[in-house]
Amino acid sequence: MFYDKTDVKTRILSLKKLGIDLPGEWEQADVDLPVGLTHTWTAGGRLFRALNRIDFCQGFDNWYEAWMWLANVCPEEKISEIRYWGHGGPGRVWMGNESLGPYAPVTSKYKSLISRVQKRLTDDALIWFRTCSTFGADAGRVFAQNWAMNMNCRVAGHTHAIGFLQAGLHSLKPGDEPYWIYDEGIEQGTAEKPKKMSGSWLSSPNLITCLHGEIPNDW
C-alpha cells in the first residue's frame, strides 16, 4: 500500500460545509487546521499492517518516488496487490498537484517505471485505487478499462466520493467492458463533479467502509 502524504491540513471552511458546529470565534474563519487526510491514510495503513492485510505501507509526495519504490521494494518478490489511498476524480488519481489519467501506463513520463511494476505483478494481481470518483463518469470507465489492459491485471476503484463509507466499488479485468452505468456517483448533467449523496448511504451501490480490506468476488 502507498498513499499521498501531501494532504496534511483541513480547512475550517470545509468543516463548516459538512455541518460541523464550530466555536463562535471560528464561525467566520477560513484557515487551516494541522490535520488532513494524510493522517487518516497513515493510521489506516498502520492498522492494516497490524491486521496482516498488507506487507508494506509508505507515503509519498510525488509519483516518481512512488513508482520507483513500487518497482524496487523487495525486488526478488512478485507483487500480488497494490493499493493507493489518495485523492481522485473521474478518470484521475492525484498525488499532490499532479494527476495520472486513463492512459498514464503508456503515455506518462513515468511509463518506464510503471512498466517495471507491471512486470512484477502476479497473474492474479489487483490494483485498488481507494480514491474519490476515479471510476465515475465516462472518463472513469475509460480509466478502468485502460489500466486493466495496460497493467494486465484486475483494477478496482470507486464511482462515488468516499470517506469512512466508500460506495460505488467496482473492479475490472483485462479485456472486459465496464459494467457500471456511466453516471453512477456523478451529479446529473455534469461530467466531473462527485455526486452529493442524498438519503441513506446504505442504498448506495457496492458499499463498504474504509475498514474493509477485501473486494467481493462479484464486484
At residue 51, the pLDDT reads 81
**Listed range (28-32, 170-174, 192-196) with the worst mean pLDDT:** 192-196
pLDDT of residue 157: 96
The lowest-confidence range among 102-106, 135-139, 168-172, 194-198 is 194-198
Of 14-23, 27-36, 74-83, give the lowest mean pLDDT range: 14-23
> Does pLDDT of 200 surpass 80?
no
Number of Cβ within a 10 Å radius of residue 100: 24
pTM of the model as a whole: 0.83
For 37, list phi and psi in degrees, rounded to 5. Answer: -65, -25
Residues 134, 92 contacting (CB under 8 angstroms): yes
For the cut 50, the answer to whether the pLDDT of residue 188 exceeds it is: no
pLDDT of 194 reads 47
Q: What is the pLDDT of residue 185?
A: 73
Is pLDDT at 197 greater than 50 in this prediction?
A: no
3-state secondary structure string across the chain = CEEECCCCCEEHHHHHHCCCCCCHHHCCCCCEECCCHHHHHHHHHHHHHHCCCCCCCEEECCHHHHHHHHHHCCCCCCEEEEEEECEEECCEEEECCEEECCCHHHHCCCHHHHHHHHHHEEEEEEEEEECCCCCCHHHHHHHHHHHHHHHCCEEEEECCCCCCEECCEEEECCCCCCCCCCCCCECCCCCCCECCCCCCHHHCCCCEECCCCCCCCCC
The reported pLDDT for the residue numbered 37 is: 85
Q: Domain coordinates of the chain in residue numbers?
A: 38-209
For residue 191, how many other CB atoms are within 10 A of its CB?
A: 14
Radius of gyration in angstroms for the set of CA atoms belonging to the chain, rounded to a whole number: 18
74-133 tens-digit pLDDT:
999 999 999 999 999 999 999 999 999 999 999 999 999 999 999 999 999 999 999 999
Nearest to 215 by CA among 81, 97, 91, 89: 81
More confident residue, 160 or 152: 152
> Could you give the CA distance from residue 27 to residue 212 in angstroms, rounded to a whole number?
35
Pairing of strands 121-130, 79-85: parallel
**Alpha-carbon gap, residue 201 to 209, rounded angstroms:** 11
